[in-house]
């Protein structure tokens, strides 16, 4: 298991994480559009008269899916958990008071400012309380 993130480490990692998440969100939208188009094309397709467009779309869908898998692998290698394609939501494994929690960030937020319990998810997000140096 990778070392838990601190808010500071998560924010230092954010420029790279942000680029990967942006790529995922964009590629996922493209993948969805191609899947919908493939479904429409194949709905009017027949076994005796296959559509060349269907084969082309099938290759595109597979290529986009492979790219998405690559982006997910990049986040996993960083120890970051991808959660939502629409929000561009990720969790950074962390610890609070000796128990596992997640630092939570979504695309468009300038910094990592939230956390939640492992089983709480996005709905259970709470704002991080800045620590005051003693």
**In total, how many domains does the chain have?**
1
Q: Predicted confidence band at 131 (pLDDT cuts at 50, 70, 90)? A: low
pLDDT reading at 32 higher than 70 = yes
The boundaries of the domain holding residue 35 are 7-127
Phi, psi of 24 (to 5 degrees): -60, -50
Look at residue 3 in the predicted model and tell me its pLDDT: 81
Burial class, 23, CB count within 10 angstroms (exposed 0-12 / middle 13-18 / buried 19+): middle
Establish if 132 belongs to a structural domain.
Answer: no
Give the residue with greater pLDDT, 32 vs 121.
32
Output the six-digit token pair for 72: 């997910």
DSSP sequence for 56-122: HHHHHHHHHHHHHHHHHHHHHHTT-EEEETTTTEEEEEEEETTEEEEEEEETT-SS--EEEETTT-G
- Mean pLDDT taken over the chain: 91
Establish if 91 belongs to a structural domain.
Answer: yes
Establish if 105 belongs to a structural domain.
Answer: yes
Establish if 1 belongs to a structural domain.
Answer: no
Q: Is the pTM of this model over 0.85?
A: yes
Instruction: Quote the CA–CA distance of 64 and 82 in Å, as a whole number.
Output: 17
Q: Predicted confidence band at 134 (pLDDT cuts at 50, 70, 90)? A: very low
Q: What is the pLDDT of residues 38-76, one digit of tens each?
A: 998 888 776 666 788 888 999 999 999 999 999 999 999
Establish if 22 belongs to a structural domain.
Answer: yes
pLDDT reading at 1 higher than 60 = no
Establish if 94 belongs to a structural domain.
Answer: yes
Establish if 2 belongs to a structural domain.
Answer: no
Closest C-alpha to 61, from 81, 93, 32: 32
pLDDT reading at 132 higher than 50 = no
Q: What is the pLDDT of residues 78-107, one digit of tens each?
A: 999 999 999 999 999 999 989 999 999 999
Instruction: Quote the CA–CA distance of 7 and 82 in Å, as a whole number.
Output: 17
Establish if 57 belongs to a structural domain.
Answer: yes
């Amino acid at each position: 298991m990778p070392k838990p993130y601190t808010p500071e480490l998560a924010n230092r990692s954010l420029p790279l994480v942000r680029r990967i998440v942006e790529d995922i969100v964009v590629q996922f939208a493209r993948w969805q559009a191609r899947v919908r188009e493939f479904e429409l094309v194949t709905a009017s397709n027949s076994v005796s008269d296959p559509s060349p467009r269907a084969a082309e779309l099938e290759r595109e869908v597979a290529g986009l899916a492979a790219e998405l898998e690559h982006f997910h692998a990049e986040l996993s290698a960083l120890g970051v958990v991808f959660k939502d394609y629409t929000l561009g939501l990720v969790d950074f494994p962390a610890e609070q008071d000796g128990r596992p929690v997640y630092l939570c960030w979504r695309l468009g937020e300038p910094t990592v400012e939230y956390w939640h319990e492992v089983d709480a998810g996005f709905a259970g997000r709470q704002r991080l309380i800045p620590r005051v140096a003693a």
